[in-house]
Every structure is written in structure tokens, then in C-alpha cells.
Amino acid sequence: MSSSGAAGQSAKPAKAGSSQPSETSVKRKRGMFQKDLQHMMYGFGDDPNPIPESVALVEDIVVEYVTDMVHKAQDIGSKRGKISIEDFLYLIRKDTPKLNRCTELLSMQEELKQARKAFDVDEEKLASLE
Amino acid sequence: MNQSKDPFEAAYEEQEESPPDSPLAPADYDRRPASPPSAAAPASQNAATAPDDEETEHVNPSDPSPSAPASASAKIKGKSKEEDEDEEEENMEVELAKFPASGDPNKMAKMQTILSQFTEDQMTRYESFRRSALQKATMRRLLVSITGSQKISMPVTIVVCGIAKMFVGELIETARMVMTERNESGPIRPCHIRESYRRLKLEGKVPKRSVPRLFR
């Protein structure tokens, strides 16, 4: 299919029914998230065995979504060269469920870090006792 | 604490090592031996969803029961790959026995009643919902290829995985709504997903590109 990509595009073939190839680099292979997406789609209400074309389409959409978000975050983040969490939080500020989820994830990370630190300290104590 | 990691993380490790071929993996589900949830309960209870209250309100009404309590557990698992893999089986049981809610006893009781009345089918679907996650490594690779910079911090990867999962949820749930409107049944087809994506764009939940995408 000649429409399957611009010059120099990735090697992935055009999927049936998919009309949104993203302009990622050549390194991107097909089905990056395929297995995980199948489970996820089932969890959110799809059939236990989702149609492969649907999975591929969802993956394309998600990659495009992430790409657009990251580009916007880069624009916001004053082109620091790295992306900071603040930029993302600003981007999704209007979307309350996502914002809550992100703050929850971040606080959970902190807790886990603390917990791991505490565990390491305990281990050292145990080791020194032995 | 003698338990090296959160039970949800352990459950993720387990899932990662042996992903079942189909989302319905009876072997995966049955393999759990009965195990005392009490040891793991307090630790993960605190770590589990503090602001679960808000999340239950935001549940999409089109798919209430299986996806009702969006919880952090799937995400906890997603983010701590660095931990060891002990006590996986024990933690799988814990993960489902653990009714995620804030410390609020009312919420916990409600969750418990809901979860205890799940049918087998609903339980597997809920399990898939909780435990599925996008791989951090893959996401990180994607982020690196998008930004061109190698410095993607861990929190960013985790947050992006979480956001993407919620976006998938919106997509699928809207697609289901589209299907019921059209009185169709069965697995979701690409046309439903495209229609759902179009609707999400109209609602403004999808970021619009400032420069139109040229070569499709």
C-alpha cells in the first residue's frame, strides 16, 4: 500500500482499518503494547479476546496521544531539554480524574521510596547483627 | 518490615513474568494458593489508594461494576519493577481480597460488599482491569524516541503510563457506549473505536495538534 507511510517511515505495515500511523522513529515496531493492551481492553469492557485490528488501532491512538502530550509538555516546559512532571500536571489540569490519578501515583511513589529506604536500613541492621 | 514489597508490586511481577496468552487465563487465576492476607494487608492498605473517594465518583457510568473502583494497585505494580519477586502467589490472593478504599470504613465496607457479590466473570474482568498496565520500559523507549533526549525520569514514565491507561479506558468505554447505541454486541470493532475517538476529540479530551499531521 503506497499510503502506508511517508518516505523513511518505520517498517511496520499498514494495519487493516488503521488510518493513523504516527510519525515515530524507525525504531518503533508494531505491537509494542499489544499484549498489555489486550488485558487492558478486557478490563475496561471489551471481549476477552479483542479483535487484533482493534488492539492495533488502540495502540496507534495511544501512541499518538502520548506523542501529542509530550510535544505539548515540551512546549510548555520552556524547552528545558528534559520533561518535568509539572508540565504534565499542567496539561491534564482540566481533566480531573486523570489529575487525581497522577497525584495519587506520585504520592504512592513517595511512600514506596520511603518504605524501601526503611527496608534497606533494616536489612543493613540485620546484616550487621549477623 | 519483613515483607520486602507491596503485594501489588508482587502481583505485577508475577503478571509480567508469565503473561497469559488471552486475557482470560484460568491457569493464572487458579494458581493462587490460599494464603494469609493479614500480613500483607496493613502494609498495602496504607499504600493503597488514598484518594479513592474521588475515583469512584468519576467512574464512567457506562461500565460501573467491573471498573468501579479505579485503584492505584495496578499502578503500584507498574512502577516498582526493581523489587524482588517473593510471595507472588500470596500477594495475588491479597490483591483481590484487598478492597481498595481510603481509610474510610464506609467506603471499605461498600467496596467489600460490591466485590463479594461479583460473579466469576466480573471478578476476572476486574482483575484484568486492576492488574493491566503498560510496560514502563516500552513507554520509556517511546518517550525517548519522541523527545530525542535520554533523560526521562522515572516519575514521568510512571505518570505517562497511568495517563495512557486512563485514556484507553475512556476510549473503550466510549466505544462500548457507541455499540449499545447501535444495538450491536460482541467484541469491539475498529469502527467503534474510531467513532469513540471522534467523540473524545469533540469533548476535548484528546490534545489537538497545533500543526496538522501531514503524511498519513
- CB contacts, 8 Å: B125 with chain A: 42-43, 45
Query: What is the complex's ipTM, to 2 decimals?
Result: 0.74
**B64 Cα to chain A: minimum distance (Å):** 10
pLDDT less than 50: residues of chain A: 1-26
pLDDT in tens, A49-85: 889 999 999 999 999 999 988 888 888 776 666 778 8
* Residue contact B1–A118, C-beta within 8 A: yes
> Which residues of chain A have a CB within 8 Å of the CB of B49?
104
Contact (CB<8Å) B168/A38: no
Q: Do B1 and A17 touch (CB under 8 A)?
A: no
Distance CA B12, CA B166 (A): 18
Site of grid cell 501531514: B214
> Would the CB atoms of A43 and B149 count as touching at under 8 Å?
no
The answer to whether B91 and B178 are in contact (CB under 8 A) is no
**Per-residue model confidence (pLDDT) at position B104:** 65
Please give the pLDDT value at position A81: 66
Nearest in space to B176 (alpha carbons), one of A46, A52, A41, A58 = A46
Q: How far does the CA of residue B35 sit from the closest CA of chain A (Å)?
A: 23
- pLDDT < 70 regions, chain B: 1-104, 210-213, 216
Cβ contact A46–B158 (<8 Å): no
pLDDT of residue B42: 40
Task: Give contacts of B54 with chain A, Cβ < 8 Å.
Answer: 96-97, 100
A114: exposed, middle or buried (Cβ count in 10 Å: 0-12, 13-18, 19+): exposed
* Among A119, A113, A115, A81, residue whose Cα is nearest residue B158: A113
- pLDDT (0 to 100) of residue B151: 82
Report the interhelical angle of B120-131 vs B7-17 (nearest 10°).
90
Residue type, A73: A
The nearest CA of chain A is from the CA of B131 a distance in Å of: 8
Contact B188, A46 (CB under 8 A): yes
Q: Does the CA dihedral B134-B70-B160-A75 come out positive or negative? A: positive
3-state SS assignment for residue A1: coil
CA distance A106 to A112: 10
Alpha helices in A22-84 (DSSP H): 34-44, 52-76
Residue in B closest to A91 by C-alpha: B207
Q: Is A104 on the interface with B (CB under 8 A)?
A: yes
CB contact under 8 A, A47 and B188: yes
- List of chain B residues whose C-beta atoms are within 8 Å of the C-beta of residue A98: 162-163, 166-167
Closest Cβ–Cβ partner in A71, A101, A107 for B162: A101
Contact B188, A47 (CB under 8 A): yes
pLDDT tens-digit series, residues B177-206: 999 999 988 899 999 999 999 999 998 888
Residues in chain A with CB shorter than 8 Å from the CB of B6 are 112, 115
- What is the count of residue pairs from A and B with beta carbons less than 8 Å apart? 250
Q: Which of A9, A83, A102 sits opposite B152 (nearest CB)?
A: A83
Using DSSP's 3-state secondary structure scheme, residue A59 falls into: helix
What's the confidence (pLDDT) of residue A94? 81
pTM score of the predicted model: 0.63
A83 touches chain B (CB under 8 A): yes
Q: How far apart are CA B154 and CA A126, in angstroms?
A: 30
